[in-house]
Amino acid sequence: MRIIIFGPQGSGKGTYASRLSPLLGIPHIATGDLLRAARDDKEYGQKIRQYQDSGALVPDDIVLKILKKRLDQPDAKRGFILDGYPRNAEQAKELDKITTLDAVINLVVPEWVLLQRLSTRVQCKNCGEIFNLRTLPPKKPGICDKCGGPLFQRDDDKPEAIKKRLEIYYQMSAPLIKHYRDKGLVIDVECNSPDIPPEIIVNKIMDLLRTFKKVGGQGKQSDEDGHS
């Protein structure tokens, strides 16, 4: 399956996507990770480093070219879970030109849940892996399970910054969700508690995907606990 996973900061899209990937047998492609890796790309690496080191966003045309190269790799031929792209309507139109999609998972999470999750979120300084001190703590306090690097809390994971980021996300995501809902691709998955283990939501997403596939790809609204 070729899937996009959407959700605001703190909705768990990266966590869920990384767990869905082995279950579905398709790669989880996070554009943030893709661009970090592409800093060493022979063709685009220098330009990417210049934009990122100056604090500027990498232009859409470069992001799309890097993404297309990744989607052309053998492991993505059977499908993929795309996380972090598209971020605007123009990117969605460009993505439509290079691939077709089977489903769009839209994580619907109340703001109070997002605030609780993000305020306890920490990230590895070295590899960028994300943990949650409340729901997904590292095995050793302050140490990344993946690479052993130090964990820290980002400034934009503090309450006032979180609210501002959420406002921007909702403004940008509304036309995107409409774009894919009009195509009959959206599966809404609701989570109304900060304490639901990731595996519970992942299992519900899997159930919804199976149902979605059987009924021919018409978006199906979940109930407030994530059940179909």
**What's residue 215's pLDDT?**
65
Listed by start position, the domains of the chain span 2-214
CATH of 2-214, one of 3.40.50.720, 3.40.50.300, 3.60.40.10, 3.30.1600.10: 3.40.50.300
* Catalytic entry in 39, 49, 165, 220: 165
* Catalytic entry in 2, 49, 68, 87: 87
**What's residue 66's pLDDT?**
92
- Is 36 annotated in the active site? no
**What's residue 67's pLDDT?**
95
Q: Give the 3-state secondary structure of residue 217.
A: coil
Rounded CA-CA distance 194/187 in Å is 20
Rounded CA-CA distance 44/24 in Å is 31
How wide is the angle at C-alpha 189 spanned by C-alphas 22 and 139, nearest 5°? 50
* Catalytic entry in 19, 70, 117, 121: 121
Left, alpha or beta for 178 (phi > 0: left; psi -120 to 50: alpha)?
alpha
* Catalytic entry in 154, 163, 164, 178: 154
**What's residue 179's pLDDT?**
92
* Catalytic entry in 13, 19, 70, 117: 13
- Is 97 annotated in the active site? no
**What's residue 218's pLDDT?**
53
- Is 13 annotated in the active site? yes
Burial environment of residue 137 by CB neighbours within 10 A (0 to 12, 13 to 18, 19 or more): middle
Residues of the chain with pLDDT under 50: 219-228
Rounded CA-CA distance 137/148 in Å is 14
pLDDT digits (tens, 9 = 90+) for 69-90: 999 999 999 999 999 999 888 8
How wide is the angle at C-alpha 128 spanned by C-alphas 6 and 203, nearest 5°? 45
Distances (CA, A) of 190 to 8, 106, 107: 12, 8, 6
Report the predicted TM-score, pTM, of the whole model to 2 decimal places.
0.79
